[in-house]
């Protein structure tokens, strides 16, 4: 297949995520394209989708699908919920398979797809053009970040790390201005990761031993935690100084009084989801489970910890158990098999972030932002619509980083079991 044609297909596939069709649920355009496109791609170069390192991804996504089916049958979920829950897992796997064939580890094609993410975010953001903070939160902020970090990558290649750090800090400041706390954290953590802390030690010792790798991981995690703490403190200080507009000011002032700060104040669903997991840790509650007691529990938690002035829950016609997280959603709905799948993917992504710190590719600023943001999404963002496509891409990106890092530092990865690079695929590739 001609290289230009493949690039064009990637661009169309990515941009299609900006559009959706209502069938059983809301399907993004890319998932409608998967059905006719994937069989052709499998005939073209199916082996790319079945590399040895992807083995556990397919096994655990398959286990997640099994857990979804079992939970839906056991809990008697309505048929429409079963169809939506099953489709969500199936299309996630198909999205990954499609991207693995189309993009593989080709840097140019990864950039093309990342640009489509920026364009889709921009289109989504423009729906809220009358409210700048909302427009920034739901699309414009991500578009600006990707554009700025592509520029930052140019300076990174030339060793001008301080400019890269300043760009990330500047993006963090913009997100503070618009009260977008999650992106504030992501950009500050990314700025920390851009500092070349270990280049000299690697050159001196000729590579990273296991002990050095563990020390690097602990130091980076410590610095990331410090960056998150700084983000929380900056929002509290800005709220105390009257920095935000009236609506944001009121919200952050209330959350600043809470026991866990403003970052946790925006995610009370996490504690509710953990309780739902404890109530049914093995089977789960089924797809899109409805139970008003968990809405009441969320409101009680907010009230008890100082994040709300009332313990009266919202009146919702369809009170789905709140999760607001890739990980807790999978575990609450599909039981332990869904939880194990996303724990694996979380660890895989974290290892991808740590791999960046040793590999330091040309697109380091952009990759850091995307993968750190994906870690946040796994823990604190819903898993739906075009996010399924983007999640599949971030997982592919993590695998590519680990593969490149393993090739550069084979002794460091020799005994790692979560990722096992190899030349053989699960089934043979067709000839070019």
Burial class (CB in 10 A: 0-12, 13-18, 19+), 327: buried
φ, ψ of residue 22 in degrees (nearest 5): -90, 115
Give pLDDT tens digits for 57-80: 999 999 999 999 999 999 999 999
Structure token digits, residue 118: 């920026």
Mean predicted confidence (pLDDT) in 279-298: 93
Q: Within a domain: residue 291?
A: no
When divided into structural domains, the chain yields a total of 1
Mean predicted confidence (pLDDT) in 138-146: 96
Angle separating helix axes 326-334 and 269-279, nearest 10 degrees: 30
Mean predicted confidence (pLDDT) in 269-282: 92
Mean predicted confidence (pLDDT) in 8-30: 89
Structure token digits, residue 287: 């797809």
| Neighbouring C-beta atoms of residue 311, cutoff 10 Å | 12
Range in 99-108, 210-219, 225-234, 293-302 the model is least confident about: 210-219
Burial class (CB in 10 A: 0-12, 13-18, 19+), 355: buried
Q: How confident is the model at residue 195 (pLDDT cuts 50, 70, 90)?
A: confident
| Count of residues making up the chain | 432
Mean pLDDT of the chain: 86
φ, ψ of residue 286 in degrees (nearest 5): 90, 170
Q: Are residues 401 and 364 in contact, defined by beta-carbon separation less than 8 angstroms?
A: no
Q: Within a domain: residue 106?
A: yes
Mean predicted confidence (pLDDT) in 355-366: 92
pLDDT at 260: 66
**CA distances in angstroms from 5 to 2, 42, 104, 292, listed in the order given:** 5, 16, 15, 50
pLDDT of residue 200 exceeding 60: no
> To the nearest 10°, the Cα dihedral for 193, 196, 198, 201?
180
Give pLDDT tens digits for 150-159: 999 999 999 9
Q: Closest Cα partner for 172 from 203, 141, 143, 197?
A: 141
pLDDT at 23: 75
Q: Within a domain: residue 111?
A: yes
Please give the Cα distance from 124 to 127 (Å, whole number).
6
Mean predicted confidence (pLDDT) in 416-427: 44
Enclosing domain of residue 91: 3-255+324-413
């Amino acid at each position: 297949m001609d290289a230009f044609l493949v690039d064009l297909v990637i661009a169309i596939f990515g941009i299609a995520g900006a559009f959706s069709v209502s069938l059983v649920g809301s399907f993004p355009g890319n998932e409608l394209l998967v059905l006719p496109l994937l069989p052709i791609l499998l005939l073209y170069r199916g082996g790319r989708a079945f590399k040895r390192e992807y083995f556990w991804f397919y096994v655990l996504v398959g286990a997640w699908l099994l857990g979804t089916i079992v939970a839906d049958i056991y809990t008697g979920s309505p048929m429409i919920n079963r169809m939506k829950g099953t489709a969500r897992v199936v299309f996630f796997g198909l999205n990954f398979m499609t991207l693995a064939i189309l993009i593989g580890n080709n840097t140019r094609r990864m950039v093309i797809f990342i640009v489509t993410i920026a364009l889709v975010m921009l289109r989504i953001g423009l729906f809220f053009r009358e409210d700048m903070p909302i427009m920034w939160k739901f699309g414009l902020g991500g578009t600006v970040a990707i554009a700025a970090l592509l520029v930052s990558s140019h300076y990174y290649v030339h060793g001008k790390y301080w400019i890269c750090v300043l760009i990330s800090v500047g993006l963090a400041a913009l997100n503070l201005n618009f009260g977008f706390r999650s992106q504030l954290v992501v950009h500050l953590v990314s700025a920390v990761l851009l500092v070349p802390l270990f280049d000299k030690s690697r050159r001196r010792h000729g590579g990273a031993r296991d002990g050095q790798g563990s020390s690097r991981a602990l130091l980076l995690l410590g610095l990331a935690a410090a960056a998150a703490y700084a983000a929380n403190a900056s929002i509290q200080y800005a709220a105390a100084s009257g920095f935000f507009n009236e609506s944001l000011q009121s919200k952050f002032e209330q959350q600043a009084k809470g026991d866990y700060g403003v970052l946790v104040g925006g995610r009370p669903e996490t504690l509710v989801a953990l309780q739902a997991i404890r109530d049914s840790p093995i089977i789960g509650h089924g797809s899109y489970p409805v139970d008003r007691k968990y809405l009441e529990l969320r409101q009680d938690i907010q009230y008890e910890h100082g994040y709300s002035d009332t313990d009266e829950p919202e009146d919702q016609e369809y009170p789905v158990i709140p999760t607001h997280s890739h990980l807790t959603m999978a575990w609450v709905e599909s039981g332990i098999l869904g939880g194990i799948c996303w724990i694996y993917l979380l660890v895989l992504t974290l290892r991808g972030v740590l791999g960046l710190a040793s590999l330091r590719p040309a697109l380091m600023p952009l990759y850091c932002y995307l993968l750190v943001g994906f870690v946040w999404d796994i823990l604190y963002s819903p898993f739906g619509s075009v996010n399924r496509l983007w999640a599949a891409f971030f997982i592919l990106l993590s695998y590519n980083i680990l593969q490149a890092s393993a090739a550069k530092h084979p002794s460091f990865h020799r005994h790692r079991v979560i990722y096992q690079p190899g030349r053989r695929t699960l089934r043979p590739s067709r000839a070019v």
